Amino acid sequence: MTGPYPPASRRALLRAAGLSAAAAGLPGVAAGCSARDRPAQVAVVWSSQELALFHEVLRGYPAPVEVLSVGDDIDAFLSARHRAGTTPDVAILSQPGLITDYARRGWLAELPDDLGTSYAEDWRDLLRVNGRLYGAWVKAAFKSLFWYQPSIVDSEPQSWEVLVEQVSRMGAAALSHPGAPAPLAIGAADGWVLTDWFENVLAALAPDGLYESLAGGEPGWTDPAVRQSLDLLAEVWSRPGAFVGGPGRALLTQFEESVIQVTTGRAAMVFEADFVQAVVDAFRRPGQPAPKPFKFPVIDGVRPVVVGGDAAVVLRGSPRGEALLRYLTGAYAFEPWIRAGGYLSPNLGVSTDRYPAGLARDLAEDMAAAPLLRFDLSDRLTGSFGGADGLGMWQILQDFFRAVTAPRADTAGAVSDTVRRLDRAARQAADGAYR
């Protein structure tokens, strides 16, 4: 059994060697085949309704496209894929800060200038890095809206003081009568909801230039306007009984769930953008009245207008990313979003009369007419200061929320603490050391 092997076995070994060599060659062939006819890939952060609408948009594209719904961790996802060399062709990001980061690292393909002419200058400049264009806008969101349940709230608060008074009154009523609806629903588990609250208040209070310089990553978080904004937020958030199930539960409530709470009448008002409409439509029961929007209350005589948006970028090395991007950002591809309602387009080719009359057209006109474009601040920050689950500005504001809604809250201390953390995070991001 351990003697010299007969020649037949050597033949067997050689056969095996030949087979394995062939097997090693197969992947190369397979990779070559697959690279030629594999579908284009798009990475998005959307899920549920927005994802369904995006699939509808893609139906008009001639080639097959695969959609990767990655969620809020898209930065970690794209970083990992970049190191693997398997980036998707196109990524649709809601944070221009990320786009700036990636462009500086050389991960993105530069786009021809004619793609930028469809947008107003303010919008175009958000996607420029060192004078070169790296992205194009797919859709925009009007982020200064409140939605309320008309059967519970009789009058829309026009100013911040009235809002605080309504929340106090309804909160006290909710605490004394267990079945009564709470005044506010807030998706505090999603940090970006809290940063949207903060940005609207800051946009109203900030002196000229402060908002832009903060968005650009410059230090300035110690400005009294920031402190004043946090004070106002603490004023309304700390009202007893303000949230469904209490503040602890609010921190575990995600954004869509907070909209469902208002749709089903568990809460009276929810703050968020126009894309609330899609969630409302999905979860409203036929007999129930639909929540209606009203614009963000006036603070110190100023009504803030903050917008957000999703932009598509082409990852470097993709052969057909640009064609796909042209399609996705064209005026024609915006039709499904208009039909669904609740989405706006910054594309100049989509005129305001394409929107159905009513809220959508109203908001489109407001957005086009706003003198100063205030884009969502946390989305413009670079590095992980901007936010992701458990990191950056999202985490700082969630901690602030937890601190001011605690039973014996030290509001002034919490505000000082938050200002200090924001300032330090901004400095670290500027140094590039925040990762």
Partner 1 sequence: MSEASNRLLGELVVLDDVGPVRRGRAYPAAGAATGLLLPAGVLLGGLVLWPALRTLQASVTNPATGDFVGLANFRTALHADGAWPVLGRTLLWAAVVPAVVTVLGYLLAAASRRTYEGRLVRLVLVAPIAVPLVVTAVVFRLMYDPDPGRGTATALAGRVLGTAPAFLGPSLITVSLMSAFVWAWVGLAVVVFRAALDAIPANLADAVRAHGGTRLDVFLDARWRPLVRRTVAVVFALTALATARTFDLILVMAPGSVRYPASVLAVRVWQTSGGSTSGPGAALGVLWFAAVALGTAAAALGIRQAWPPPGQQAPVPAAAGTVTEEEPPAPTRRRPLVGFARRAGRVLPSVAAVAWAFPMLVLVATSLHAPRDAATGGWWTRPLRWDSYRQAFADGTLARSLLFTLVLAAGVTVLVVVLAMLAAYPLAWLSGPVAQGVGLVLLAAMVIPVQVIAGPVNEVLGVLRLSGTAFGLALVHLALGLPFAVLVLRNALADVPAAQVRRVRLTGRREWDVVWRMGRAILPAVVAVTVLEFVQVWNDLVVGLLFSGPDGTPLGLLLYGQARQFVANSGQLAAVATLVSLLPVLLVIAARRQVVAGLVSGALR
- Per rule CB under 8 A, is residue 279 in the interface with partner 1? yes
DSSP secondary structure, 30-61, as one string: HHHHHHHHPPEEEEES--HHHHHHHHHHHTT-
Confirm or reject binding of residue 260 to partner 1 (CB under 8 A). Answer: yes
Contact at 8 Å (CB) between 259 and 279? yes
46: left (phi over 0), alpha (psi -120 to 50) or beta: beta
| 254 binding partner 1? (CB under 8 A) | yes
User: Could you say whether residue 68 binds partner 1 (CB under 8 A)?
Assistant: yes
The answer to whether 256 contacts partner 1 (rule: CB under 8 A) is yes
Chain-centroid distance of CA 146 in Å reads: 17
| Residue of the chain from 216, 219, 220, 245 that contacts partner 1 (CB under 8 A) | 245
Estimate to the nearest angstrom the gap between the alpha carbon of 427 and the chain centroid: 23
Let me know: does 326 contact 115? Beta carbons within 8 Å: yes
Interacting span for partner 1 (CB under 8 A) from 116-124, 177-185, 281-289, 309-317: 281-289
**288 is an interface residue for partner 1 by CB under 8 A:** no
The residue from 7, 85, 207, 371 that contacts partner 1 (CB under 8 A) is 85
Residues across the chain: 435
Query: By C-beta, is 366 or 389 nearer to partner 1?
Result: 389
Measured distance CA(232)–CA(161) in Å, rounded: 10
Nearest to 75 by CA among 397, 423, 381, 418: 381
Residue 191 to residues 72, 388, 411: CA-CA distances in angstroms? 10, 8, 20
Q: Does residue 105 bind partner 1 (CB under 8 A)? A: no
Toward partner 1, which CB reaches closer, 408 or 435?
A: 435
List all residues 6 or more positions away from 220 whose beta carbon is below 8 Å from its beta carbon: 210, 213, 214
- 195: tokens are 């940063």
Binders in 294-323 for partner 1, by CB under 8 A = none
Scanning 3-11, 206-214, 329-337, 409-417 for contacts with partner 1 by CB under 8 A, the matching segment is 3-11
Question: Which of 25, 224, 317, 390 is in the footprint of partner 1 by CB under 8 A?
Answer: 390
In terms of C-beta distances under 8 Å and separation of at least 24 residues, what long-range contacts does 404-408 make, across chains too? 404/233, 404/234, 404/237, 404/238, 405/237, 405/238, 405/243, 405/247, 405/250, 406/247
Q: Is 158 in the site for partner 1 (CB under 8 A)?
A: no
Piece of the chain touching partner 1 by CB under 8 A; list 70-78, 90-98, 119-127, 144-152: 70-78
8 binds partner 1 (CB under 8 A): yes
> Which one of the spans 85-93, 131-139, 208-216, 304-312 is the region binding partner 1 (CB under 8 A)?
85-93
- The closest alpha carbon to 374, from 222, 208, 193, 212, belongs to 212
Site of interaction with partner 1 (CB under 8 A): 1-2, 4-5, 8-9, 12-13, 16-17, 20, 27-28, 30-31, 34, 38-39, 41, 47-48, 52, 55, 66, 68-73, 75-77, 79-81, 83-86, 88, 188-191, 245, 248-249, 251-257, 260, 264, 279, 282-283, 285, 388-391, 394-395, 398, 435
